[in-house]
Amino acid sequence: MATSETYAAGAAAAPKPFITAERVVYLLLFVGLVALPFFSKGFFVFQVTKLLIYAIAILGLNLLTGINGQFSLGHGAFYAVGAYTTAIMVEMMGVNYMLTLPVAGLICFVFGFLFGLPALRLDGIYLALATFALAIAMPQLLKLSPIEHLTGGVQGVIVFSETFDPDVPFGLPFDPGTWTYLFTLFVGVFLFWLARNIVASRTGRAMMAIRDNPIAARSMGVNVALYKTLAFGLSALFTGIAGALSAIAVKFVAPDSFTFALSIVLLVGLVVGGVGWLPGALIGATFIVFVPNFAEEISKGLSGAFFGFFLILVIYLAPQGAGGLLRAGVGRVKRLLASR
Amino acid sequence: MDLFLQQIVSGFATGGIYACMALSVVMIYQAIHHLNFAQGEMATFSTFIAWQLLAWGLPYFAVIPLAIGLSFIGGFVVERVVFKPIENAPVLSHIVIFIALFAIFNSAMGFIWDFSIKPVPSAFGEGPLYEGSLLSKHQTGMIAVTMLVLVLLWAFFRFTRVGLAMRAAAANPQSARLVGIRVSFMTALGWGMASAIGAVAGILIAPVVFLEPNMMLSILLYGFAGAVLGGLTSPLGAVIGGFIVGIVENLAGTYIPVVGGELKLPIALFLIVVVLVVKPEGLLGRRVVQRV
């Protein structure tokens, strides 16, 4: 894949100045996101909460596809598992919703790791097939009768039934919507930081080596099987936490919220944001949250077709997504400045 | 015992649909070594065309060749327009294009024909084949058509020049090009044929499950399961695999209480994962050895 240069620069570990353009951009973005709920309306805040949740899920998918070079058309399934874990723990066991996040992540990690084991033997297209099957079967798996007392079958689980909102800790003066947003934001920032560090670590380098040339990686002593399953598990963990957050934000889980369409949406976000470029998750998520509204306005009922055409356009014109365009733009500006 | 026999027979009949779907999956796989995730939506689209023609009052014997022909042209054109430009792109791009096609077809069908379910009459008539028969007329027809398609395909690849050229183009594109075969044209031909076979499968199954834009999603999954089980490189394997999937699905639905009548999709998932892990080349497929 042509994205190898994205993180190659980080691996060279040259001493950098403390204040870089990149850090300034991140800081501004963070301040802007924290300030957002104090300047906008409830529904918009909810939409941006959803955006952040999708961004986390796409981040997880990006770890798998962008960093490790494996495909998944079934990340909606891990999202569902995370959402259900949180819903069940909060509703049936009375656990504090914040404590359910690590559990949801852990369960998804194990689930992803286990699904990754057979996936080890599957290359490219076969892996896509297996995860495709997982995504399509997931709504029915959730309806299976032996687990119906937990999952609520077709009806699903209503979290924090009506009167109950996620409580704001320490008596902070926020309304529940704002708090959910800020909570999601902090979890998201933490996970993004975590993902960056994983990618920059030994583990991340091993994963990228497998993506770029599995045979060379193996002969360099990289345990291909271990790192591939690990990538699957980690990716599921991120996506699972996103699912858990969605259960908190939407307060409702049902099998039909986790159809194949969800997996498609995540894939769209990944491709639009840029495969292999972690901050692209935010751009991809913005696309999948706001563009459908926009597309509905142009023509009702054709938003799926619009999505499809846009995907094809991205593949033709900007195969590296927004990340690729951004890098090309920055490179051009730099060259312009240098030539003066 | 009667129930058991009844289930096997009706599994065999639905198996015919999966076999058709598996055949079209294998066609595409042979041509470009990819699984077309939009295959089901394309087949549903063909079925909608057939339904529309019927609704306009054309008789069945005119509708079927027309729908199949249009599907063939459609598949051919989709390959030329959408897929040709990115022939050499990485696998991810291909998968994304399939998913894009999936979204486009699904949404377009909903837009043109809306999401309400539509009954489709059977081309073979209603009722059992004969008094006391286990198979209905339609089921018998489905099985017969599947077999016919398989035989035609086999004959096409075995006895015609175009079939030979297609096999050559798939097996060794470079050498095929050197002997004067238009390889990329053959790929498009493969798409056209796959989409025509998909149309057959769609028209066959529509009377059983009712027509709506998401009709084929689960059937495609069974088709994939059948193709993987039989071996992605073998049309005969795909047909056998399709029938096995149909029978297994029906028996599991009847005899495993957890599964029940409605929740059979996890079986397809299970089958796919097990086959890919235990015997990735399938029952009749060739093992693909990669040179490094």
Q: Do A307 and B265 make contact, defined as CB atoms within 8 angstroms?
A: no
Instruction: Mark yes or no for CB contact B265/A140 under 8 Å.
Output: yes
Closest partner residue to A130 (CB to CB) among B218, B276, B292 is B276
pLDDT score of A235 more than 90: yes
For residue A140, what are the contacts with CB-CB under 8 A and spacing of at least 6? A255, B262, B263, B264, B265, B266
Query: How large is the average pLDDT for residues B195-202?
Result: 90
Domain boundaries, chain B: 2-106+133-278
ipTM of this complex: 0.84
Assigned CATH class of B2-106+133-278: mainly alpha
Three-state secondary structure readout of A208-235: HHHHHCHHHHHHCCCCHHHHHHHHHHHH
Q: Within the 155-214 window of chain A, which residues sit less than 8 Å (CB to CB) from chain B? A: none
Give the residue carrying structure tokens 């209480």: B257
Least confident of A168-172, A317-321, B186-190: A168-172
Q: Please report the pLDDT score of residue B57 as a whole number.
A: 85
Q: What angle do CA A115, A120, A126 make, to 5 degrees?
A: 85
CB A232 within 8 A of CB A64: yes
**Most confident stretch, A25-39, A241-255, B124-138:** A241-255
Q: What is the pLDDT of residue B260?
A: 62
Which whole number is the average pLDDT over A129-152?
A: 80
Q: What is the pLDDT of residue B269?
A: 83
Q: Could you read off the pLDDT of A176-234 as tens digits, one per residue?
A: 778 888 889 999 999 999 999 999 999 999 999 988 888 888 888 888 888 988 999 99
Contact check, Cβ <8 Å, B108/A302: yes
What's the DSSP call for residue B130? S
Among candidates B82, B218, B266 on the partner chain, residue whose Cβ is nearest the Cβ of A141:
B266
Does the pLDDT at position A261 exceed 80?
A: yes
Q: How confident is the model at residue A239 (pLDDT cuts 50, 70, 90)?
A: very high
More confident residue, B27 or A64: A64
The pLDDT score that the predictor gives to residue A223 is 87
Contacts of B272 (CB under 8 A, 6+ apart): A129, A130, A133, B221, B224, B225, B228
Residue A67, pLDDT above cutoff 70: yes
d(CA B158, CA B179): 19
A130: nearest CB among B89, B101, B273:
B273
Does the beta-carbon distance from A311 to B93 stay under 8 Å? no
Listed by start position, the domains of chain A span 9-257
Q: pLDDT tens, B35-94?
A: 888 888 999 999 999 999 988 888 888 888 999 999 999 999 999 998 888 877 788 888
Percent of chain B with pLDDT over 90: 16
Cβ neighbours of residue A288 under 8 Å, at least 6 residues apart?
A54, A265, A266, A268, A269, A272
CB-nearest to B217 from A136, A311, A314 is A136
Close Cβ partners of A72 (under 8 Å, ≥ 6 residues apart): A61, A64, A65, A127, A128, A131, A235, A263
Q: Which two tokens stand for residue A65?
A: 């596809």
To probe the interface with B, which of A131, A312, A317 has the most B CB atoms within 10 Å?
A: A312
- The model's confidence at residue A4, banded by pLDDT at 50, 70 and 90, is very low
The residue of B39, B42, B259, B273 whose CB has the most chain A CBs within 10 angstroms, and thus the best one to mutate to test that interface, is B273
**C-alpha–C-alpha distance, residues B138 and B144, integer Å:** 10
* Total number of residues shown for chain B: 292
Q: Which of A141, A38, A87 is nearest to A253 (CA)?
A: A87
With CA atoms as reference, the chain A residue closest to B272 would be A130
CA distance to partner chain B, nearest, from residue A134 (Å): 6
The set of residues, in sequence order, having a beta carbon less than 8 Å from that of A96 and lying 6+ positions away, is A90
Per-residue confidence (pLDDT) for residue B10, from 0 to 100: 81
Residue A73 near chain B (CB below 8 Å): yes
> What is the average pLDDT value for chain A, to the nearest integer?
82
Indicate yes or no: CB of B110 within 8 angstroms of CB of A124: no
Minimal C-alpha gap between B1 and chain A (Å):
27
pLDDT digits (tens, 9 = 90+) for A142-180: 887 667 777 777 777 766 654 455 666 666 667 777 888
